[in-house]
Structure 1
Amino acid sequence: MPEIPDLNVFSANLTKRLVGKSLTAIHILVSRKIKTTEADFDAALTGQVLTAVKRIGKQLFFEFGQNHLLGLHLMLYGSMHWYEGKNENKFTIVELLFSDGTGLAITDWQKSVMLTLDPVISPVPDAMQMPDGYLQSALKKSAKPIKTVLTDGKTVQGIGNAYVDEILYAAKISPFSKANKIPESNIEILSQAIRGVLTDAENHILFLFPDTITEKERDFLQVHRPKQTLTLNGEPILKAELDKRKTYYTGSQQLFE
């Protein structure tokens, strides 16, 4: 699943290529997870100029003239691809065609991509925009494992299964630690790890794939390495399942319970 670092890069590259252009057509090929009709999308968006592409949490939001918003959640296997002329991408869910002839195909072999018209934005803070002291206060309210709290979207938006393992590894906190048992000093370290890990990953992706709008390799990750037995630092990787999520961590991460 694309997470914050990927989506920030995608947003920047979509902005560079599409902002200022008008949408000339939208075609929904698979409507399994799309509750709004193609006619409603068409009436609201066709002919409107794209003014911004932003990321909040795990979603991208395309802002169009006359205050319309197109929300996109790529889910686990969704991806985006440029095309010109005929779209040849397999498993296409939606096609967006812009005034300069640029096409954007959104694909998903699992057919789970979610597209919404004028969605309500969640008030839960984004992982990169949490107010000072927010996490310290929020974690006191939950006895659930810290990995669950960081990924369920109820306390913070945008952190997924891969980067939560990276964040907890950087903060040296076990994913099984009870959220309300973590000392405030360690929560401060955790807050810094959230911003640091996600920023470093975004910079890495930008360096290797500056123009990408499609998820690329994650070989640079330290501990969330499904095919490896050691971290990049040479520590043995421990593997477990937590809330039906595969979890990767090390023995050096402190357990608070």
Structure 2
Amino acid sequence: MAELPDLTVFAQILNRRFKGKVISKLEVSLAKKINVSGRELKKNLENRELLQVTRAGKTLQLHFTGNQVLGLHLMLRGELVANAQDEPPRFQILGFYFEDGEGFSLIDMQKQATPTLNPKDTEVPDALEISEAEFLSLLAKKRTLIKTLLMDQHLIRGIGNSYADEILYHAGISPFSVAKAIPVKQAKILFRSIESVLNQAIEKIDKENGDELKGELRDFMQIHNAELKQTKKGEAIKSEKIGGRKSYYTDSQEIFG
């Protein structure tokens, strides 16, 4: 699943390649996941200029003239790929075709990727925008496991399974720790780890992808990698399911609670 760093880079690439261009045709190949009809979506977006692409939590938001915004949630297997005017790619859900002949498509072999026209605003903070005070207050109220909290998009947006493991390892905190049991000193370290791990990942993915809409990049991860048996420090990497998702950790990560 694409997480915050991947989506941030995708937004940057889409801006570099398509910002300022006008959609000549929006091809709706699968409308069942859209919050409006395919006809209404085309009516609202065709012949409009793409002003910018932003990331909000785990979604991309395409901003068009006429105050139209299209949110794209890639879900588990969704991808963005370059397309051609003559033939849409396999598993296409939406195809964006611009006046200059270039374009891209949202594809998903599982047909779960979700486009939303004019998505509602949310007060849930983004992982790279939440303040330290907000983060400490959030942890102090929750008895849930810290790994579960970091992944809960109703509490903090953008972090998924992979980066939750990376952040907790970076902070030296076990995923089995109870959120409110984490001392303030360690909670502050965890807050800084969120920013550090996510921003470093953005830099690495951006450098690797260039202007190409590639898939998720994970080979630089320190611990969330099924092929790794030990960390660079020589620690044995263990795995266990938390909330139905496989988590990777080491015994050196401190458990609180």
- Scaled by the length of structure 1, what TM-score is found? 0.97
Amino acid paired to 2:159: I
Amino acid paired to 2:91: F
2-side partners of 1:4 and 1:46: how far apart?
28
* 2:241–2:247 Cα contact (<8 Å) kept: yes
Partner of 1:180: 180
Partner of 1:217: 217
1-side partners of 2:144 and 2:80: how far apart?
35
After the TM superposition, which residues 132-143 of structure 1 pair with which residues of structure 2 at under 5 Å, given as runs?
132-143=132-143
More displaced stretch, 2-11 vs 229-238 = 229-238
Deviation (angstroms), 1:245: 0.6
Amino acid paired to 2:168: L
Q: Root-mean-square deviation (CA), in Å? A: 1.2
More displaced stretch, 205-214 vs 4-13 = 205-214
Partner of 2:48: 48
More displaced stretch, 134-143 vs 22-31 = 22-31
Amino acid paired to 2:28: I
1:243 pairs with 2:248? no
Structure 2: gaps (5+ residues) = none
Length, aligned pairs only? 257
2-side partners of 1:88 and 1:33: how far apart?
19
SS in 1 for 2:132: coil
1-side partners of 2:45 and 2:135: how far apart?
38
Deviation (angstroms), 1:88: 4.5
For 1:179-238, what per-residue CA distance to the aligned partner results, in whole angstroms no more than 9, with x for missing partners? 110111111100100000011111111222222323243111000011221123321111
Partner of 2:19: 19
For 1:41-83, what per-residue CA distance to the aligned partner results, in whole angstroms no more than 9, with x for missing partners? 1111111111010001010000001111000000110001112
More displaced stretch, 106-115 vs 22-31 = 22-31
Partner of 1:115: 115
Structure 1: gaps (5+ residues) = none
1:161 pairs with 2:148? no
* 2:53–2:62 Cα contact (<8 Å) kept: yes
1-side partners of 2:208 and 2:22: how far apart?
30
Moved over 4 A (4+): none
2-side partners of 1:152 and 1:236: how far apart?
27
- Scaled by the length of structure 2, what TM-score is found? 0.97
After the TM superposition, which residues 31-70 of structure 1 pair with which residues of structure 2 at under 5 Å, given as runs?
31-70=31-70
